[in-house]
Amino acid sequence: MNQAVDEFRELPVGSKGRRSSGWWGMVALVASEAAVFGYLLFSYYYLMAHSLHVWPLGGPPTLRLSAPGTLVLLAGSFVMYWGERGIKQGANGRLIAGLAISIVLAALFILLELWEWHDKGATPSTDVYSSSYFIITGFHLAHLAVGMVMLAVALVWACLGYFGPRRHSAVTIAGLYWHFVTVVWLAVFFTFFIVPRLSP
């Protein structure tokens, strides 16, 4: 017999922990989604570099709502991580709490974001800066909404008792997407709210 299989080892059946095909699939999907945001931010910087006016007109956007929103979203990611750690130790209640609190925090972020949109005094058709502002933050909101659906479904499954310390790949997979959406927001936040403050 060939060397590749000659040692006697216990092989797990089905998805177990991180070694699930779904986890690899989500890694690939996140890579592709990261590219979407990479191209979005490229478009933003390209338009900025070619702009003939002050960018953005009227100075950098305010941090009044976006900074608390960023903290809320980061907190949501940490709570999710706390819940994931819980199910690894068999604490299903901690997972349920983690998922539920993350969803609530994401909803709070969306409210703050929509409030900011409302206060903006501009629409996507005002000028090319506001086009990119609304479309890029809107793309992020859409991703966050998809992540909330994933977490909500995982919450239902957790309540049905589907997960345990050995079987929780759905949570790990949804969590990966969730953390990605948070990290992408940091890039968007940096681009729109910090970069204009750095320019002389």
Partner 1 sequence: MPALVTRDEAARHAAKLKALWETSPGLKGWLATVDHKELGKRYLITAFVFLLLGGLEAAVMRWQLMQPDMHVLTPEAYAQLFTMHGITMIFLYAFPVLTGFSVYLWPLLLGCRDLAFPRLNAFTYWIFLFSGLLFYASFAAGWAPNNGWYNYVPYASQPYNPGPNIDVYAMAMILLGISTTGAAINFIVTLVRLRAPGMSINRIPILVWGTITAAMGNLFAVPAVSLAFALLWFDRQFNTHFYDVSQGGQPLLWQHLFWMFGHPWVYAIVLPAMGIVSDGIPIFCRRPLVGYSAVVLSTIATMVLGFGVWVHHMFATGIPMTAASFFSSASFIIVIPSAVAVFAWIATVWTGRPQFTAPFLFFAGFVLLFVIGGVSGFMTAAVPLDWQLTHTYFVVGHIHYVIIGINVFPVIAGVHLWFPKMTGRMMSEKLGKWSFWVMFVGFNLGFFPMHIVGLQGMPRRIYTYAADTGWGGTNLVITLGSYLFAAGVLLFLSNVVWSRWRGRPAGPNPWDGPTLEWSVSSPPPAYNFAVIPVVASRHPLWDGRLREEAVASSLDEGYLLAKERETLGTTPVDAEPDAILRMPRESLMPLLVSLALLVVFLGFSIHGVSALACWVLAGLGGAGTLACGIAWLWPHRYMVQTLDEDAP
Which range, of 38-46, 73-81, 101-109, 190-198, touches partner 1 by CB under 8 A?
38-46
Residue of 65, 135, 187, 195 that binds partner 1 (CB under 8 A): 135
Residue of 18, 35, 62, 111 that binds partner 1 (CB under 8 A): 35
H helices of 120-168, in order, are 128-159
Residue 76 burial (CB count, 10 A): 28
Q: Minimal distance in Å, beta carbon 153 to partner 1?
A: 6
12 forms part of the interface with partner 1 (CB under 8 A)? yes
Of 182, 142, 186, the C-alpha closest to 41 is 186
- d(CA 107, CA 148) in angstroms, rounded, equals 9
198 forms part of the interface with partner 1 (CB under 8 A)? no
193 forms part of the interface with partner 1 (CB under 8 A)? no
- d(CA 56, CA 152) in angstroms, rounded, equals 37
Listed in sequence order, the residues at least 6 apart from 88 whose beta carbon sits closer than 8 Å to its beta carbon are: 165, 168
- d(CA 156, CA 151) in angstroms, rounded, equals 9
Between 15 and 70, CB nearer to partner 1: 15
- d(CA 191, CA 142) in angstroms, rounded, equals 18
Of 155, 143, 154, 137, the C-alpha closest to 179 is 143
Q: What DSSP state is assigned to residue 55?
A: S
Q: Minimal distance in Å, beta carbon 84 to partner 1?
A: 16
Which range, of 41-49, 61-69, 74-82, 176-184, touches partner 1 by CB under 8 A?
41-49
Q: Minimal distance in Å, beta carbon 186 to partner 1?
A: 19
186 forms part of the interface with partner 1 (CB under 8 A)? no
Interface ranges with partner 1 (CB under 8 A) = 1-5, 8-16, 19, 21, 24-25, 28-29, 31-33, 35-36, 38-40, 43, 46-47, 50-53, 124-125, 127-129, 131-132, 134-135, 149, 153, 157, 161-164, 166-167, 169-170
